[in-house]
């Protein structure tokens, strides 16, 4: 397996890797550091920006800049040459749904360019099931919670045809991935079913991606591996990583055949908090920017 640790990068909580096809560059975030990172694919040049509050998830915007789930809502972000970030809030749930100690977490766009993200209570030890999953669109604003009572929302991904939505709860008390039938016109999931029950298995199902074969790749946080599951829920590949807490993966590169994996540093040193590029032997699906 061909692997490369991206030099010059360390994240406390690396998350939300994204391939920006228009720029031929990778983006990801470091949540508690309020950092947005960018790596040019051809040159390897690194850049970073400091946001005004924690950024948990990002997606490219078709109009330029990024759309992001942050502490206090959904934002449009402009990245400035001086390393600062211009942040314009687009929408936010009621204060009762995004109160003190909460923030948005995992998120991405569906195949139609609607932005989805979920909320969580940051103190995971409290095990407060107060998180919800929301959809934001330029024409319809914020909708939700579409799914409620989540502990640690994660694992959002869509099948190549957009007709199946995946969602996980990575909290130690849940460790579950669900699949939904997805109405691509209305932008609504229905028919919830357990796709993967990973209780008693290696790690917890954190961030995820789907490849061109429709297989679901999930980062096994605390398990030190990335796993590939077929659409039938069968484990068919497992890649060992040098960090114990991989957090999210994304396909990219000019041929969509690279997998970028972020990770979390719990203070153990070594490669914890590293960002890694690897060739997984399959091709991914191009992400749709926010429309």
The 246-252 sheet, strands edge to edge: 3-5, 276-279, 258-263, 246-252
- The pLDDT of 106-119, averaged and rounded, is 98
pLDDT tens sequence across 168-207: 999 999 999 999 999 999 999 999 999 999 999 989 999 9
8 A C-beta contact, residue 28 and residue 14: yes
Residue carrying the six token digits 């699949």: 179
Q: Looking at the annotation, which residues are catalytic?
A: 206
Q: pTM here?
A: 0.97
What confidence category does residue 1 fall into, taking pLDDT thresholds of 50, 70 and 90? low
265-268 long-range CB contacts below 8 Å, 24 or more apart?
265/10, 265/11, 265/12, 265/13, 268/244
- Other CB atoms within 10 A of residue 141 CB: 11
pLDDT tens sequence across 9-65: 999 999 999 999 999 999 999 999 999 999 999 999 999 999 999 999 999 999 999
| One-letter-per-residue 3-state SS of the chain | CCEEECCCCCCCEEEEEEEECCCCEEEEEECCCCEEEEEECCCCCEEEEECCCCEEEEEEECCCCEEEEECCCEEEEEECCCCEEEEEEEECCCCCCCCCCEEEEEEEECCCCCEEEEEEECCHHHCCCCEEEEEEECCCEEEEEEEEEECEEEEEEECCCCCEEEEEECCCCCCEEEEEEEECCCCEEEEEEEEEECCCCCCEEEEEEEECCCCEEEEEECCCEEEEECCCCCEEEEEECCCCCEEEEEEECCCCCEEEEEEECCCCCCCCCCCEEEECCCCECCCCCEC
What confidence category does residue 269 fall into, taking pLDDT thresholds of 50, 70 and 90? confident
The C-alpha atoms of residue 58 and residue 36 are separated, in whole angstroms, by 9
What confidence category does residue 212 fall into, taking pLDDT thresholds of 50, 70 and 90? very high
Give the percent of the chain with pLDDT over 90: 97
The C-alpha atoms of residue 3 and residue 164 are separated, in whole angstroms, by 30
Of 178, 160, 170, 56, nearest to 110 by C-alpha is 160
Residue 83 in tokens: 């390393």
Q: How many residues does the chain have?
A: 291
266 pLDDT exceeds 80?
yes
- The pLDDT of 226-254, averaged and rounded, is 97
pLDDT tens sequence across 57-94: 999 999 999 999 999 999 999 999 999 999 999 999 99
Pairing of strands 216-221, 225-229: antiparallel
Average pLDDT, the chain: 97
Give the percent of the chain with pLDDT over 70: 100
């Amino acid at each position: 397996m061909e692997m490369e640790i991206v030099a010059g990068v360390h994240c406390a909580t690396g998350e939300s890797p994204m391939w920006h096809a228009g720029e031929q560059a990778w983006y990801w975030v470091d949540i508690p550091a309020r950092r947005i990172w960018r790596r040019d694919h051809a040159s390897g040049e690194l850049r970073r920006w400091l946001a005004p509050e924690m950024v948990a998830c990002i997606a490219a915007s078709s109009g330029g800049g990024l759309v992001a789930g942050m502490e206090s809502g959904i934002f449009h972000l402009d990245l400035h040459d001086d390393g600062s970030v211009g942040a314009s809030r687009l929408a936010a749930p009621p204060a009762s749904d995004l109160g003190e100690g909460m923030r948005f977490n995992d998120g991405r766009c569906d195949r139609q360019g609607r932005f989805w993200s979920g909320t969580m209570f940051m103190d995971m030890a409290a095990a407060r099931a107060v998180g919800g999953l929301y959809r934001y669109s330029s024409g319809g604003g914020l909708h939700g919670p579409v799914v409620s009572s989540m502990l640690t929302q994660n694992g959002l991904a869509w099948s190549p045809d957009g007709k199946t939505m995946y969602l996980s709860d990575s909290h130690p008390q849940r460790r579950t991935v669900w699949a939904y039938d997805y109405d691509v016109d209305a932008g609504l999931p229905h028919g919830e079913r357990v796709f993967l029950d990973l209780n008693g298995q290696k790690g917890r199902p954190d961030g995820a991606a789907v490849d061109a074969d429709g297989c679901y790749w999930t980062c096994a946080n605390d398990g030190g591996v990335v796993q590939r599951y077929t659409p039938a829920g069968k484990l068919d590949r497992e890649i060992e990583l040098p960090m114990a807490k991989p957090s999210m993966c994304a396909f990219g590169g000019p041929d969509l055949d690279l997998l970028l994996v972020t990770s979390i540093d719990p203070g153990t040193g070594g490669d914890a908090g590293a960002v890694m590029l690897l060739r997984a032997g399959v091709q991914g699906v191009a992400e749709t920017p926010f429309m």
